[in-house]
Structure 1
Amino acid sequence: MDEDTDGQTRNDATVHARNDEDDHATNLTAVALGEAWRDDYPWEFLTQLTEIENRLGGHPGERRAAELVAEGFERAGAREVTVDPFEMQRWTRGDAELGVTDPVERTFETIALPYSPAGEVHGELVDVGHGTPEEIDEQDVAGKVVVASTTTPKGSRFIHRMEKFGYAAAAGAEAFVFRNHVPGQLPPTGSLRFDAKAAIPGVGVSKETGDWLTDYAERGATVSLQVTADTDPGTSHNTHALLGPDTEEEVLVVGHHDAHDIAEGALDNGCGITTVVTAAQLLAELDLDTKVRVVGVGCEEIGLLGADALASELDLDTVRAVVNVDGAGRFRDMRAHTHGSETMKELVQAVSDQANQPIATNEQVHPFSDQWPFLKRGVPVLQLHSESGERGRGWGHTHADTRDKVDDRNLREHAMLTALLVQEVASTDEIPRQSAENVADNLRDGDFEEGMRAAGIWPDAWA
């Protein structure tokens, strides 16, 4: 055999070996995905999770949820599974009472919003519509009880509850009433601050009660509001596990296992953490180029506290990217928030094409989920959500966030897509990091700065 023939033979053997490796990886993926279609575990996990009472951050139910996530990671065959504590400010719900005192006397069902202080307020009722800064500025809210909707005007930027509350409080309001825009006698909840007692009491009321309050506000009514609640030092938990090769770099996958205490938290974020645990089962069987750290994080609902503790703990120079699963698994189609990363957008499109499944993308940066503590530190992020076809939370943050709203086919399918997306991130050598200036500019372009300042979450370093 001459030298050229020998060289060609070696090249052919190398090509064949690579093709065999590719075929093997493809077969592994096909088998894993095929088994996932008929897996009952996602529904079993969600059932166990939603049977836990009160998963609000820092309470015993949230600790049990973290342990359940650990059991799921162990079932997947992940290594170094740990449940790690972190300190936080625990808010405990008491009673809340809301009543009109003039021109009539009547009471309404209401619930306190997390980090509302205890207190008693008497004052004139004023309705500020959607609670935009412009609507609040148009009214004299000083010394009054402000009522604002949970939704925002069509065509406008999204205005978070914390912005409405913070702006009203800064304008001198004595109390804040958040009225749901979804019918069904469902008073909404949601945190007023991040890990700190709020300045004034805040409560939620149903759409039906809100309609009455709007009427009474037009009549110049006065109301009485009483809240009992406690904020004290507490402990929450993050659940860690590792998958794939032991590389220096890692891809971080997070989903929060806490929920508001007024419901089962099946949609928010029972579906998301179920998707993470199920994706871990798949990732354990897939060919990964980079280590993957999967984490169930605590206290998302009261300030992204678990994610912030995680971001402070890890060496972020070794974190290639973060995939935050918050909202995936709820509805039929997945939506991916790429937060200004062109590479992430291309990666999502590649997986969508490969899987022959639609994945909508949204490029806008937003700070109200567990990707934020990492994004503001420059780490590329991807948030996986799902398409409801409607604006707003729907059943989320209400008594109606229950297991019957979930379709387990969506859980399985979104877990498969999540695993494929994570695998793609793990095989992408370089995902450019954004500077703080770019992130800040993106937020300003989306009109988030004013709201983040009102909510007290605009980074001081960006001032």
Structure 2
Amino acid sequence: MDLDSALGATWRDDEPRRFLRRLCELDDRMAGHPGEARAADLVADAFRDAGVRDVDRESFPLTVWTRGATTLRVTDPVDRAFEGVALPYSPSASVDGPLVDVGHGTHAEIADADLDGAIALARTDSPADGRFVHRMESFGHAIDAGAEAFLFRNHIDGQLPPTGSLRFDEPAAAPGVGVSKETGAWLAEYADRDGAVELDVNATIDDGESEFVHGVLGPADADREVVVLAHFDAHDVAEGALDNGCGIAVVVAVARTLCRLDAADALDARVRVAGVGAEEVGLLGGAALADALDLDDVHAVVNVDGAGRHRNLVAMPHGSDDLATAVDAVADAVDHPVRTDADPHPWSDHWPFLRERVPAVQLHSDSGERGRGWGHTAADTFDKTDARVVREHAMLATLLVREIADTEVGRVDEDALRDAMVDQDFDAGMRAAGIWPTDWEA
């Protein structure tokens, strides 16, 4: 089958949507939980059904966190209980103290607040005139400033407490809890009135394992390969349809498309498709995959985290001009806009590769809003997905993989990468989160 026919077959292929539906029907794809292992089963079966060769599953250890009950009560100026959900790697703890609103939880806002012995309240969205602020940054800065606990207030309507890890693969130093936008508004009101709260969190932390699934297609004797990966784990509060069910469905569709091509349309590099677990709790699946591969053979990485959710595709080439050029070439060839965001960031499965100087592009999508939207909440459900978007982004990703395979892509300049992180003020946040590379210290 030639390329145009293969792409046309993808447009009519319902299997990626059926795969996504089966994924969303699983209970609790939290890292290390049984549902995540069943998701790995589905990914392996989907790769084999596509025609991917040498499909294998490999496990790796991780610290498994399991949510228990959480109680949150305002004790002053009123006595009132609110709903909250513990954030992954929050320890079991009972704390009380004054409530302090730190806005978006930026480093500057936290530095200006008196958090000694307090419970910090931070928003999930980022300042309109600034870069994205990750919750791990806000949490780390707040605890370093003396806070006893951390409350994370959603900016999306609908009584939706958000979740998200406080640390990577280890217990956090203090408890953290997500609260809805509506609860957050009340808490901000009480913080303005010098309010106080009591917080009780229960959770268990055990040793366990997760896994990644991978296989190859294209020329077996190629001396380099393009890795196309997406994570299949999700937070336990929802189905994980958008984050990242759509992403792994796109990878499945890419595999099916590439496997349809005949010798006349052979790839210029081997392609390794992979689904990885434990992204949400520390990019552990991406790191395990990177450790398992000979990175000298990896030409480039395409990390599908966020694609397939919303109509407008966004490519993040993480400082690689060569990858940005490849993205532009695909967009121009099919007259389809793809927005490029060049600034590198460390918050997805490309990071373990990028950190080892392997060029990587992340495929995301733009909803028109800042923040995660329905992601990391109970509203991240199958009904929010659109099969047309999954198919369209899979077709664009297929073209991009072929373009990258035929393009000379330079290795990452580590000094330039470090400087870009510092220029964006990521270094302070990464230190607070415990992920700043030790060999990058001055």
With the length of structure 1 as denominator, give the TM-score of the two structures: 0.93
**CA apart distance, 1:435:** 2.3
Cα distance in 2 for partners of 1:315, 1:60 equals 30
- Corresponding letter in the other structure for 1:373: P
Any idea what SS the aligned residue of 1:284 has? helix
Whole-angstrom distance in 2 between the partners of 1:270 and 1:353: 28
1:291 aligns to 2:270 (yes or no): yes
Residue 306 in structure 1 maps to residue 285 in structure 2: yes
Among residues 237, 252, 272, which one is paired with 1:262 in the alignment? Answer: 237
Matched residue type, 1:455: A
Shift of 1:65: 0.5
Residue 121 of structure 2 corresponds to which residue in structure 1? 147
Alignment of 1:214-293 (within 5 A): 214-246=188-220, 247-286=222-261, 287-293=266-272
* CA apart distance, 1:447: 2.0
2:61 aligned with 1:87: yes
- How far off its partner does 1:285 sit? 2.0
Give the 3-state SS of the residue equivalent to 1:410 in structure 2: helix
Indicate the residue corresponding to 2:130 in structure 1.
Answer: 156
CA displacement at 1:187 relative to structure 2: 0.3
Moved more, 418-427 or 193-202: 418-427
Q: CA offsets, 1:52-98, max 9 Å, x none?
A: 01001011100110110011100110111112111111111111110
Higher mean alpha-carbon deviation, 278-287 vs 379-388, is at 278-287
Separation of aligned partners in 2, 1:412 and 1:120: 47
**Residue of structure 1 equivalent to 2:406:** 427
Separation of aligned partners in 2, 1:241 and 1:266: 23
Matched letter for residue 229 of structure 2: V
Distance in 1 (CA, whole Å) between partners of 2:254 and 2:177 is 37
Query: Which structure has the larger Rg?
Result: 1
How far is 1:255 from its partner? 0.1
Give the number of aligned pairs.
436
- Residue 41 of structure 1 is matched in structure 2 by 15
In the alignment, what sits opposite 1:460?
438
Amino acid at match of 2:410: P
Q: Which amino acid aligns with 2:76?
A: D
Query: 2:198 is aligned with what amino acid?
Result: S
Q: Deviations over 1:423-446 (max 9, x none)?
A: 111122x21012221110111122
**How far is 1:152 from its partner?**
1.5
| Equivalent position of 2:396 in the other structure | 417
Equivalent of 2:415, from 437, 451, 454? Answer: 437
Query: Which segments of 5 or more consecutive residues in structure 2 lack a partner in the other structure?
Result: none
Asked if 2 retains the 8 angstrom alpha-carbon contact of 1:177 and 1:203, the reply is yes
Residue of 95, 106, 110 corresponding to 2:84: 110
Could you say which residue in structure 1 is the equivalent of 2:110? 136
How far apart, in 1, do the equivalents of 2:206 and 2:253 lie? 35
**Residue 160 of structure 2 corresponds to residue 181 of structure 1:** no
- Supply the distance in 2 between the matched residues of 1:95 and 1:443 (Cα, whole angstroms): 37
State the distance in 1 between where 2:254 and 2:180 align. 36
SS of structure 2 residue aligned to 1:260? coil
Residue in structure 2 matching 1:372, options 330, 345, 351: 351
- Name the aligned partner's letter for residue 77 of structure 1: G
Bigger drift between 153-162 and 111-120 goes to 153-162
Alpha-carbon distance in structure 1 between the residues aligned to 2:136 and 2:242: 21
Q: Partners in 2 of 1:378 and 1:139 — Cα distance?
A: 38
Indicate the SS of the match to 1:83: strand
Deviation at 1:104, TM superposition (A): 1.4
Q: Which residue of 2 aligns with 1:447?
A: 425
Percent identity for Structure 1 against Structure 2: 58
Task: Give me the whole-angstrom Cα distance separating, in 2, the residues matched to 1:443 and 1:289.
Answer: 33
- 2:213 aligns to what SS in structure 1? strand
What does residue 59 of structure 1 align with?
33
Separation in 2 of the partners of 1:372 and 1:325? 13
Letter in 1 for 2:117: G
C-alpha distance in structure 2 between counterparts of 1:347 and 1:239, whole Å: 27
Q: Does 1:171 align with 2:145?
A: yes
- Within 1, Cα distance between the matches of 2:293 and 2:362? 19
Partner of 1:14: none
Q: Does 1:50 pair with 2:24? A: yes
Give CA deviations for 1:407-433 in whole Å, capped at 9, x if unaligned: 1100001011111111111122x2101
CA contact (8 A) 1:283 1:423 kept: no
SS of residue paired to 2:75: strand
Q: Name the residue aligned to 1:398.
A: 377
TM-score scaled by length of structure 2? 0.97
2:340 counterpart of 1:361: yes
CA distance in 1, matches of 2:363, 2:108: 32
Q: Flag as ranges the 4+ runs of structure 1 deviating above 4 A.
A: none
- For structure 1, the 5+ residue unaligned runs are 1-26
Measured in 1, the distance between the counterparts of 2:49 and 2:403 equals 23
Q: CA–CA distance in 2 between the matches of 1:137 and 1:290?
A: 49
Alignment partners' CA distance in 2, 1:254 and 1:213: 40
Q: Give the whole-Å Cα distance in 1 for the aligned partners of 2:7 and 2:287.
A: 33
